[in-house]
Structure formats: C-alpha cells, structure tokens
C-alpha cells in the first residue's frame, strides 16, 4: 500500500481509497492491484509480462501505450547512481510515466499545478500513472531496489526535461514503509 504525504499540510494518507481519491485531484492515477498474480517477484521479465498481460492490455487500450517492459534496479546495478541522478531532479516527460511495482520501493514527488508538493511512496501492488507534462522527481528508498512494469506510448518521450524550479531542493526524500524504524533515513541520490 502506498503512503502519500501532502508536504505543505504535513498530512499523511494511508488508506488506499483515500489515496486514490486525493491523487485524482492532483491528476495522478493510483490503483492497488489486489490480488497480485501468482508470479515470483524475481521471475523472468517475460514471465511477469505474461502474468499481467490482461492488465497491461487494458492499460494500453486506455492510454495508447504500445510497449511494456520490466525495469529492475538494485544496489548491484552498474551505474545506478548516475541513472538515478537523472530522475531525482524535478522534470517532466512528453510521455506518461506508468509503473506497476513488482517489488522494492520508490518515492515519487509530484509538484502540482496548484503549487503543492505531494510525496507518493509506492511498493509491490501499486500502479501509478503520472501524466505527460506533470512536474515530478523520483528517489529510491532505503532498500535501494525497485522492480516495475513500465508502459510507453513512445520511448523517445521518456527523456527527462528539467524545470530547475528548485522545488526538489526543499524536500528531503523520506520513506516510511521500508524499515522498522519510524522514519527511514533519506536516500540522497
Ligand atoms: Fe520521470
């Protein structure tokens, strides 16, 4: 289950329905896919895509996505820091950012048109769709690992376009769902 923090209001949402309803007001689609399919989190990418083929086909039909793949990053991934450094600065894409989380954790920050900054911590079973043009940035959590199905309308649109608004500099990336500690140490990438 995701955690959502509305930073300006210091308010945290933990109920799935409340999260989905609130994120809709921010233009973000959030769904919880339960039950997830019986496929191991470390299964081959093809196996995961096959297990979720019905959901993937539905998303493709809804959003005009033409390809799906599985992104798999962890501490052992070569060049992880450089890869993540591209996405932990506020940016937008000319492409929706659609992720269904298979394992691990991630922290999206959304900078809404109304000027609010919303942190969305995602984990296995969470689907998030950040529409094209949305200002956002992304960090890993303390486990430094995420595996997710991605969908694309056109992979050329995936290039991050930076805003340089500075909003990302004012937010510490805090994850709540990873460790037994009340507050996960921030991962500054
Ligand atoms: Fe992005």
Q: From ligand 1's centre to the CA of 163, what distance in Å?
A: 12
Mean local confidence (pLDDT), 145-168: 91
Q: From ligand 1's centre to the CA of 103, what distance in Å?
A: 19
User: 157 pLDDT exceeds 60?
Assistant: yes
CB 118 within 8 A of CB 6: yes
Q: From ligand 1's centre to the CA of 13, what distance in Å?
A: 23
User: 180 pLDDT exceeds 80?
Assistant: no
Q: From ligand 1's centre to the CA of 126, what distance in Å?
A: 17
Count CB atoms within 10 A of the CB of residue 155. Answer: 12
Q: What is the DSSP string of 84-123?
A: HHTTSS-EE-SS-EEEEEEEE-EEEEEE-TTS-EEEEEE-
d(CA 116, CA 118): 6
Which pLDDT tens digit goes with each residue over 40-90? Answer: 989 999 999 999 999 999 999 999 999 999 999 999 999 999 999 999 999
d(CA 34, CA 87): 28
Q: From ligand 1's centre to the CA of 27, what distance in Å?
A: 15
Mean local confidence (pLDDT), 102-109: 96
**Which CATH architecture fits 3-170?**
Sandwich (2.60)
pLDDT score recorded for residue 129 = 97
d(CA 17, CA 57): 24
pLDDT score recorded for residue 178 = 62
For 172, how many CA atoms within 13 A lie in the half-sphere containing its CB? 7
d(CA 23, CA 33): 16
pLDDT score recorded for residue 189 = 38
Q: From ligand 1's centre to the CA of 90, what distance in Å?
A: 8
**Domain range summary for the chain, segments of one domain joined by +:** 3-170
């Amino acid at each position: 289950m995701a955690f959502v923090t509305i930073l300006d209001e210091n308010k945290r949402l933990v109920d799935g329905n409340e999260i989905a309803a609130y994120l809709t007001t921010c233009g973000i689609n959030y769904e919880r896919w339960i039950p997830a399919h019986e496929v191991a989190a470390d299964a081959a990418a093809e196996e995961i895509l096959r297990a979720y083929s019905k959901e993937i086909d539905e998303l493709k039909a809804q959003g005009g996505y033409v390809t799906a793949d599985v992104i798999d990053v962890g501490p052992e991934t070569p060049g992880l820091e450089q890869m993540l450094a591209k996405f932990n600065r506020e940016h937008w894409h000319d492409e929706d950012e659609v992720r269904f989380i298979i394992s691990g954790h991630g922290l999206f920050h959304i900078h809404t048109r109304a000027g609010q900054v919303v942190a969305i911590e995602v984990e296995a079973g969470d689907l998030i769709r950040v529409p094209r043009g949305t200002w956002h940035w992304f960090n890993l959590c303390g486990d430094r690992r995420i595996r997710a199905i991605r969908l694309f309308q056109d992979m050329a649109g995936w290039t991050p376009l930076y805003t340089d608004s500075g909003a990302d500099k004012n937010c510490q990336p805090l994850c709540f769902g990873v460790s037994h500690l009340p507050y996960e140490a921030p991962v500054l990438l």
